[in-house]
Structure 1
Amino acid sequence: MIDPALVARVRSEVAAGIDPSTLLTLYADPRRRTLLRERVRSVARDGVTETQLDALCAELFGFGPLQPLLDDPDVTDVLVNGPADVYVERAGRLARAEVAFRTIEEVADLAHRIAASVGRELTLERPFVDARMRDGSRANAVIAPIGGPSLSIRKFRRFSIPLSGPAPSWTASGLHPDAAELLLACVRARATIVVSGATGSGKSTLLRSLAAAVPEDERLVVIEDTNELVLPHSHAVHLECVPGRDGNAVGVADLVANALRMRPDRILVGEVRTPREASALLEALSTGHEGSLTTLHAGSAAGALDRLALLLARSGELGEAAIARHVALSVELVAHVARDRAGERAIREIAAVEERGVVSLWRAGEREVRMPVRLMRKLR
C-alpha cells in the first residue's frame, strides 16, 4: 500500500495545477503519461519502486487499481460491483480480478471523475452516466440513491478483421465463404446494410470489416459518438458527437443532417439508438445516399427492421403504413451477429429486404447461400 503522506505530497506538487476533469484524458495519452510519470518520479524521490510508481500515477491521474486491467490488451470489459468486487472479461469469459479499492468512497470518486472527464455530473437527480472516453472506451457509472457506486467499462479495441481468410476472420468463425463474397459484392454494389446484434456481439467490428470493402475513390462521412471506425480510406471524414448540457449537445441526428452538405458518396453511422437518429438516417437514405452502413441493437435480422420501425413510430413523424414502406425502401440487407456462451462472436444470419418482407439468405450452419432478388440489378 502506498503511503498516504506520499500521495498527498505528490498531489500537491504535481496534480494541484491540473484541472481534475482532464486527468483521465491526460493519462490516456501515452506521451503525456510518460511525462507525468517522470514528474512524479522526481517528486517522490528515492525509495519508490517501479510498481509503486505505476500505482501512484494511476491513483493520481488514472483509474486507480483498475489501471493495470485497462492496460491489459487481453481484457475487454472491467466491472466494479463494489470496492472488493471487481471482475474482468477475457476471451469472452468473466473472472474475478485480484484488485480492490480501499473504500467505497474511492469507487464513488472515480465515478465522479469519469463523468467530469466528458463534461457531465453525477447528482442526486441524475445518479448515473454513460460516458464515451476519448480513447473510445465506454464507461457507465452509477451512484446512490439508485445503487452503487458501480462501474462498467468496455474497452475500445481498434483491430479490424477481414471477412475471409485464416483466423482471425469471419469465415474462420463460421461464415460460409460464399456468404462472405455476397457481403463484399453488396458493399461494392452500394447496397445499404444494417448490422444488428446485442451489446458486445461484434457489431462495430463487422461494420469495420464491411467498410474496408468500400472502393478507395469514394468519399466517406463517418458519424459516431466517439471515433471508433479506424478505416484505411484516405478520403474519409470523421464527425464526432459532442456531449453537453442545456441543449448544447451535438448528436448523431445533427451530424447526419450536416453530412448531407458535405458531398458524401456514403454515410457510415456507428449506431442508431434514438427516434431522432433513425428518422435522420432514413431521411438521408431516401435522398439517394446509397451504400450507407450502420448498426442497430436487435435480436435478429427481422428484429432489426422491427426496431427501426419502432424508433420511427416513436418519432411521431409518419403513420404505420408509411413507416413500413420507408424502412423497406431504405434498407436492403441485414447482417446479424451474436456471441455464444464461450464468448465467440460470429455472423449468424444474412437477410435481404424483399417486397414480401425480410428473407433469410444464409444462417449459421447452412451450406447454401441464396441470392437476393431485389439486389440482383445492383449485383450484375
Structure 2
Amino acid sequence: MNTLNTLYITRPDDFHLHLRDGAHMRAVLPYSARQFARAIIMPNLKPPIVTTELARAYRQRILSALPDHLKNDFEPLMTLYLTDNTTPDEIVRAKTSNIVHGVKLYPAGATTNSDAGVTDITRCYNTLEAMEKNNMPLLIHGEATDPAVDIFDKEKVFIDNVLTPLTQRFPDLRIVLEHITTKDAVAFVTATPGHIAATITAHHLRYNRNALFKGGIRPHHYCLPILKREQHRQSLLKAATSGNKKFFLGTDSAPHARSLKETACGCAGIFTAHAAIELYAEAFDQANALDKLEAFASFNGADFYQLPRNSSHITLKKENWQIPEQIKFAEETLVPIGAGEMLGWKICA
C-alpha cells in the first residue's frame, strides 16, 4: 500500500535507453536492469543497428552482459536505425522477428552518432508506408538540423516543418516523439490522435537551461535536445503528471566518459540510469502527483507499445541519500546527473 513515505508500484519500463556496447555496456546495464523490467534500446552505435540481424546480435550481447542475479529480470526491446536506404522488406523482417519494437529516426547530424541518419525524409516514404502497414512505431528525435535555426527552437521547427506534414501523409503511422522538451511538443502530442505519443526524461523534468551555466559551464548538464526555459519545464511536468496516457517514461540515459564530457567539444548526453526512477519520484513528489507516477512509469508506455503490463513490483522509500560523485565506466569514469547531491527517494534493494 502506498503511503506518504513509501511507494509500491508495478515495475516500470524505460522506453528510451542508451546502453552503448562492450565493456561500457557491461558497466551501465545493471543500473537499468535493477529497476526496469524492459527498455527500448537505442540503435545509434558505431556502426549503427540498421538491420534485424544486427539487432538480434546486439540483443544477445545485452542478455549475455546481464549479471547472474538479473538474468531473468530485464528484457531489451530492440530498435532499428532508420537511414535513407532502409527498405520496406527490412521493416517486414523486423516486424516478424518479434524482437524489434520500433524504428528510430535521427535527422542526420542532430545528435550523438547520428551522422548515418536520414538526410531527407522523403527518401523514406516507401519505408514509412511499410511501417504504417505493419504497425511498426516510428521513434523520432525531433530536432531540425538547419544550422540557421536557433538551438532552442529546433524542436518547434521540426514539429512545424517535418512532423506535422508527416502525420498528414501517414495518418495511421504510430509515432513516439522522443524526449520532448517544449510546451510546443506537449501541445502537439496532446492535440493528435492516440497513436501519437511522447517520452519525457527525468532531467527535463528536473532542470531548466539555467542548469547549464550555474557557477560556470556545466558539461554534465549538456544534452540534445538541450534543456529549455522554465516555462517549458513546467509544461513537461504538467503533462507527465496529468494522467494523460500519451506521455510516458523514457530516460534517454546516455553514458559518456568524463574525459569526453569535460573537453573542448563535450559530448551531448546525460547519465540518469543510476537513479532514474528515484529522480522521477522526486519530480512527481514536488508536483504533489505521486499518485500519477505508476501510470506514467509502468502503464502508459506498455499500453502504447502493445505489451503486457509487468506483474512484478518495486518499492520506493522517502529516504535521503547522496548520489555518487562518479561511477566506474569500464576503464574510465562517468559523472552521473546530480553528482554529490542529496536525493529524497530511494528504491529498496
Kindly name which structure, 1 or 2, has the bigger radius of gyration based on alpha carbons.
1
Shorter-chain TM-score bucket reads 0.3 to 0.5
Between the two structures, name the one with larger relative contact order (CA 8 Å, sep ≥ 6). 2
**What TM-score results when the alignment is normalised by the length of structure 1?**
0.31
TM-score using structure 2 length: 0.33
